[in-house]
Chains A and B, each alone.
Chain A
Amino acid sequence: MADNMEEIKKATTSAQGIQARFQLGFGQSAKTHFELDVEIAIPGQGITAIFGESGSGKTSLLRCIAGLEKNACGCLHVNGELWQDAAVFVPTHKRSLGYVFQEASLFEYLTAMGNLRYAIKRNNQTTNPELLEQVIGVMGIAGILSQLPEALSGGERQRVAIARALLSQPKLLLMDEPLASLDTARKLEILPYLERLRNSFNIPILYVSHAVDEIVRLADHAVIMAQGKVIAQGGITQLFSRADLSLGVSNEVGAILECKVMERDKQWHLMRVAFNGGELWLPNVENKQNTTQRIRVLASDVSLTLTPHTDSSILNVLSGEIQEIINDQDPAMSLVRLKVGESYLLARLTQKSLQKLALTLGKSVWIQIKSAAIVR
């Protein structure tokens, strides 16, 4: 983790990015006591996910950054601006940020447009009509602007809340599990809007979530939290290829590869994609603008052989080297980290197979990939 920290700090020069250190204690008795103690450095662009289980302190961290936790000690720089240190505490309303809460938290007595105007009036900048139009367009709320929040669905309310946060023209957008209060259908409705948000506005976003599928789809960087502490932070591909973090429940563990589309095979409806270490054939998706694809390979979809099999139905076979073997929570299973060129894959194997094939660190193996999902 320490070397990652250095790496990120180098990438985020003092004028760019967000550097934060916070300490905050809650609860008097030992039973209810919770302490947040974090230090993070985040690039000044793209979506950074703050990932962890409930109660790991994700929301507290976000509230500290927003200045909503008055008792937090620490320091905070956002794109070169000092927001907090031992002597300075910029109050929330003077921090150039947008905050999307778990529940939309719209002003119920104002229409959707009234809620947007509330933000526009207070952003201390000129809001040109094109921006307003763009935000309304990206969030798809043109048709509901005259409605009161009580007349809107949960998904619509959350889209208005995101638009409202954007219209305060923040230097930093904080989103606290914006999808958590919605059902699956509504989540799927909003996710594309969040992707458009990432692509349309050049605002760094901190996105709190405990849902792996949201993070692999949206985020470029991640901060992994547990029990009030940061246990890892860095690029999403790098973090998700680590065997020791076991992000998400065991059937969600899987590596991420950033791939480039090389060729589309019309006859078999396949496409050939290349990553830093090999190539894969995947079901073709007609997506003209996306020449890069983010692929997720679940550890449970990867199997190993000692010789290349030509009589297998498996299309994607790569050669690699065993880097790390970790015991799974399930005593029958283990998690194996594989180096493929400059990239990494994870494989979930039984302990029995591990012994049968005599798999040890540094051994060269053939990697069979049963399926890979295009997440973005």
Chain B
Amino acid sequence: MSLTDGDMATIWLTLRLATTVTILLLIFATPVAWWLATTKSWFKGPMSAIVALPLVLPPTVLGFYLLLAMGPNGAIGQFTQALGLGTLPFTFWGLVVASMVYSLPFVVQPIQNSIEAIGNRPLEAAATLGAGPIDRFFTVVLPLAKPGFMTATILGFAHTVGEFGIVLMIGGSIPGETRVVSVQIYDHVEALEYAQAHALSGVMIVFSFVVLLMLYTFQRKRKAVGMTYGR
């Protein structure tokens, strides 16, 4: 029971995909989370629902619409073609875009919750000390919302590693380009290569356990620190 070169390639591809998606999501989801945490607009409800949609929709539904949108006649497809990038389905970057949609709530929600927990006071205190809005974001929001950002990073990464349905819809199974671990396991099983499927599945179980262990250990530590507030 050992991993073949093909298996290793899928592992590296999966890690590359998850890393790319996590970094991009942190950049993209932070303003969304900030807006959701601070807005009083009527649009907050609809926006929250849109962000949360991937939590409830079957990945095939998301994948189907993304496939249409990124296809030659879809809005995203037209746009990428106009930029001279061709179409995204069945490419690595197509997978990145699809994964970002799929993992969005897992990154937005922890950040949003931790920003909401900060409240106004630290920001007001910073403003009275001469800190402008951007300064306040980096010197007050980021340090205070750090647990939220940590949780968002871990969840976003792990959730991207664990996706299957949407990859199959958007990416197919092109070695080195879109064939991630979950798809490779599926292919092994289809080909009745159970030993290979076992090996890769085992890796996934260990990985998932370690990630969740990290998450909960980290959250418990934060809570203990939070308890010693004031005296």
Asked whether, in the complex, the Cβ of A164 is within 8 Å of the Cβ of B129, the reply is: yes
How many residue pairs between the two chains, A and B, have CB atoms under 8 Å in the bound complex? 73
Q: In the complex, which residue of chain A has the Cβ closest to the Cβ of B225?
A: A150
CB of B135 closer than 8 Å to a CB of A:
yes
User: How far is A124 from B126 in the complex, measured between Cα atoms in Å?
Assistant: 15
Known: A105-B122, A150-B231, A152-B231. A122 touches B127 (CB 8 A): no
* Chain B, 130-150, CB within 8 A of any chain A CB: 130-133, 135-136, 139-140, 143-144
User: How far is A68 from B120 in the complex, measured between Cα atoms in Å?
Assistant: 10
Q: In the complex, which residue of chain A has the Cβ closest to the Cβ of B128?
A: A99
User: How far is A103 from B129 in the complex, measured between Cα atoms in Å?
Assistant: 16
CB of A92 closer than 8 Å to a CB of B:
yes
Q: Which of B122, B228, B230 contacts A154 (CB 8 A)?
A: B230
Asked whether, in the complex, the Cβ of B132 is within 8 Å of the Cβ of A105, the reply is: no
User: How far is A98 from B135 in the complex, measured between Cα atoms in Å?
Assistant: 18
**Beta-carbon contacts of A347-366 to B below 8 Å, as 1s and 0s?**
00000000000000000000
Q: Which of A91, A122, A174 contacts B129 (CB 8 A)?
A: A122
Asked whether, in the complex, the Cβ of A68 is within 8 Å of the Cβ of B231, the reply is: no
Asked whether, in the complex, the Cβ of B135 is within 8 Å of the Cβ of A122, the reply is: yes
Q: Which of B130, B131, B230 contacts A150 (CB 8 A)?
A: B230
User: What is the interface size of chain A, counting residues whose CB is below 8 A from a CB of the partner?
Assistant: 31
User: How far is A93 from B122 in the complex, measured between Cα atoms in Å?
Assistant: 13
CB of A66 closer than 8 Å to a CB of B:
yes
Residues of A within 8 A of B193 (CB): none
**Beta-carbon contacts of A147-175 to B below 8 Å, as 1s and 0s?**
00011111001000000110010000010
**Beta-carbon contacts of B216-231 to A below 8 Å, as 1s and 0s?**
0000000000001111
CB of B121 closer than 8 Å to a CB of A:
yes
Residue with the greatest number of chain A CB neighbours at <10 A, chosen from B128, B131, B136: B128
Asked whether, in the complex, the Cβ of A168 is within 8 Å of the Cβ of B143, the reply is: no
Residue with the greatest number of chain A CB neighbours at <10 A, chosen from B127, B135, B143, B229: B127
**Beta-carbon contacts of A82-102 to B below 8 Å, as 1s and 0s?**
000000000111100111010
CB of A119 closer than 8 Å to a CB of B:
yes
28 pairs of residues in contact across A and B, judged by CB atoms under 8 Å: A66-B128, A68-B124, A68-B128, A92-B127, A93-B127, A93-B135, A99-B124, A101-B121, A101-B124, A103-B121, A105-B124, A107-B122, A107-B126, A107-B143, A108-B144, A109-B143, A118-B126, A118-B129, A118-B131, A119-B130, A122-B129, A122-B130, A122-B131, A123-B130, A124-B130, A150-B228, A150-B231, A174-B128
List B residues at the A interface (Cβ < 8 Å).
121-122, 124-133, 135-136, 139-140, 143-144, 228-231
